[in-house]
Amino acid sequence: MQLSTLSLFPFCNFLTLSIHFPIYLILSSSLCKTVPKFLHIKASREGESRCYFTLNQGFNRSNKLSRYIVTRSQLGGTGILDATNSLSEIKPSPKFRGVCFYGMTVMAGVLPFGILIVAHPLALIFDPYKTKFYNLIPKLWATASIAPFFDIELEGLENLPPQNAPAVYVSNHQSIIDFYPLLTLGRSFKFIGKNTVFLYPGIGWAMYILGMIPVKRMDIRSHLEAVRRCMDLVRNGASVFFFPEGTRSKDGKLGDFKKGAFTVAAKTGVPVIPMTLIGTGEIMPAGMEHVVNSGSVKLIIHKPIKGNDPEILRLLARNIILDTLSIEAQKKKTALISSKPSII
């Protein structure tokens, strides 16, 4: 099994702080009145007083000794190196990270979006189905957007088909940021997206230019049209991507898979590539799109499956992803238990 860790910036913690605090200085005057605890940094140690920092109140001391803890050094402490609070312990709140994340997404997308607009007419003429020219642009944009905030581990890259081979990719859906790890693969698959997303300035227009397929929820005719367009794309050498659950999981559990993706694969004779996303639901949970928690993401690419029965393909793909989620959850639980100090 091939492992690859996407970590373009080993100094991510420092880079994150360097991005956060300049933005904080700009926004602090307007945020102090409306969001009193938007940035909350807490530093404390057992047996010592606590110090809090908020936008509107500055440093709040629980007693007179707390300022000593803020300014103390390794020389002025107890003589123990661990007695001081290092800079790495100062972490921005999830809400503040969310603001910085969206800001980074916009800034990282300015140049790529301009390139897409200029190159779109040429792509329509010379490569209207695969649009291979666009592969690198979404990859660079997604990588630049997420690199300061979390790492991505890619597993099973050897299971990916050749770039020019059409396929149907499917994955579980945990968060709105699921698209970012998938785009870092640099594949030319076309996403199926909710039609309202295409109305968003910037990202919606980019989705339209990249050839993404809009679909209306609870509209059978729209779903059938999306399946027809996907089959047309696949037959012309392009790949398509589905979230077969149809929506994000609210509780982290894997939902039932719809048949659309597997109908396309069965009727066109291309393989289904199941993929499992782990960690995105913890970083940005469904319904909490304003926060970005710390963490990491793992994307596992499974071996292709092929067949002419959509129902069998649907069950196989779901079982593969479900088993993987169960195994990874057990690994995480075991690691958590082993990390707890034992009592002798």
What CATH code is carried by the domain that includes residue 105? 3.40.1130
Q: How many domains does the chain have?
A: 1
Mean pLDDT of the chain: 75
- pTM for the model: 0.69
Question: pLDDT band at residue 52, thresholds of 50, 70 and 90?
Answer: very low
What number is the average pLDDT over the span 39-49? 42
Percent of the chain with pLDDT over 90: 32
Domain for residue 217, yes or no?
A: yes
**pLDDT > 60? residue 198:** yes
Residue 226 near residue 219, CB atoms below 8 Å: no
Q: Residues near 17 by Cβ (< 8 Å), separated by ≥ 6?
A: 87, 90, 92
CA–CA separation, 166 and 150 (whole Å):
30
Domain for residue 71, yes or no?
A: no
Q: Of 168 and 52, which is predicted with more confidence? A: 168
pLDDT in tens, 235-289: 988 899 999 998 888 877 899 999 999 999 999 999 999 999 999 999 998 888 8
Domain for residue 73, yes or no?
A: no
Domain for residue 247, yes or no?
A: yes
Residue 3 near residue 153, CB atoms below 8 Å: yes
Domain for residue 53, yes or no?
A: no
Domain for residue 17, yes or no?
A: no
Among candidates 199, 265, 272, 205, which has minimal Cα distance to 233?
265
Question: pLDDT band at residue 105, thresholds of 50, 70 and 90?
Answer: confident
Domain for residue 69, yes or no?
A: no
What number is the average pLDDT over the span 187-210? 73
From 16-20, 88-92, 160-164, 264-268, the region with the lowest mean pLDDT: 16-20
Helix (H) or strand (E) holding 26: helix 12-34
Q: Residues near 120 by Cβ (< 8 Å), separated by ≥ 6?
A: 209
Residue 272 near residue 257, CB atoms below 8 Å: no
**pLDDT > 70? residue 50:** no
Taking CA atoms, 256 is separated from 34, 241, 259, 263, 285, in Å, by 41, 17, 10, 15, 19
Domain for residue 28, yes or no?
A: no
Q: What domain range includes position 130?
A: 94-335
CA–CA separation, 236 and 126 (whole Å):
13
